[in-house]
Structure 1
């Protein structure tokens, strides 16, 4: 009987993990460049007691968090600090929070903070080819070409003067397995080093890639997870009723 209960409890744990992933996706459906989280399948671990003809099966989640690599919809905004990657590839960013080191991102809603640092909408610093934060002097106009070279018209410069100040680092990370860390940043699995910038990804200025989350699909998934939760709770209740019925059958008759 306890096998039935443990099976239901393991299933509830999997449903809970699925609900967390589903809620994360719905919460980030409007975040530019967000990559939809995927619940990993995991493996099954069978625990057996020595000398006992009983075993228990448990699901072990995958260590690395999976995510969808499908591209989001490209929206042409015309804003000079909106960037999108036209091909497979990544920007290099320095996370705003945590000490995990540089990471990869597709988020291209850029802005310049009070210190002149170029950051994305999440506050992560955009890195140059030396993986250092890009700091821009005051400017009247900014242009970013397909290779990521940043050219500005200095605020104190002569009319028509243009100066190249930095290059946004990009990489295609070909052949590299990536995962999301606990801080939500994307890095190579098992702590492998980031690839070197290769500038092989085309950058589009004035465009913004949206999230690849399908809200309709996630809402349907939410309903399915709720039904699965209710089914497992019903299974536990049924196991309780069967156990109580078995106990009554084994009870000594009362005189």
Structure 2
């Protein structure tokens, strides 16, 4: 399977999907949203039992492409189409009949963290930076970020972490249950490969049935979160706070928000 912004390799029962925009820290743009949706949906036709999700070169994903957001804001572009593809991608990943493993090094921020948390396991390096930091540019989490944060840490802590844009290293992320396995720096992909090899020696058919039962029981709830995020995020993109946030980011200064 060939895509513009990601790589997808299927070898026997294992699929490896790599976010592949290293020149932009593997940030999400519209094409990546399309590619992820089409890739995860296509994997349903493959006989895979394990999916590894990783980032090319220095990071897992630094979130959304803010320079593209600024360009879109300047021409009045909306995000409805992108949100449609994000909804498809996250839903397909969450319900994929395979054990899914996010392999995080560098950073998993914003949508990058939502994507990682959609997986069954999150393996993270000690110095990785995890943050649901949409608030810094006046946005709300998308990609099911609200749902996954609530599932992992509970509603009260999810709110606080989202509002604060809290940044955690790998050790802290495991302590807060936002990641599952912490490894030495530079070792995430190697450990993940070992983990996958171990999983292949287990009764994966039974594990996948358990996943489909448990995730399936939450499917309607995830649908509601995704639908609400898709309805709210275009409104957030039109706020003065968001425009200030992305301009401040590009200009490398502190934003001045006014609640508008």
TM range, smaller chain: under 0.3
Q: Whose strand fraction is larger, Structure 1's or Structure 2's?
A: 1
- Normalised TM-score (structure 2): 0.24
- Normalised TM-score (structure 1): 0.25
> Which structure has the bigger radius of gyration?
1
Q: Whose helix fraction is larger, Structure 1's or Structure 2's?
A: 2
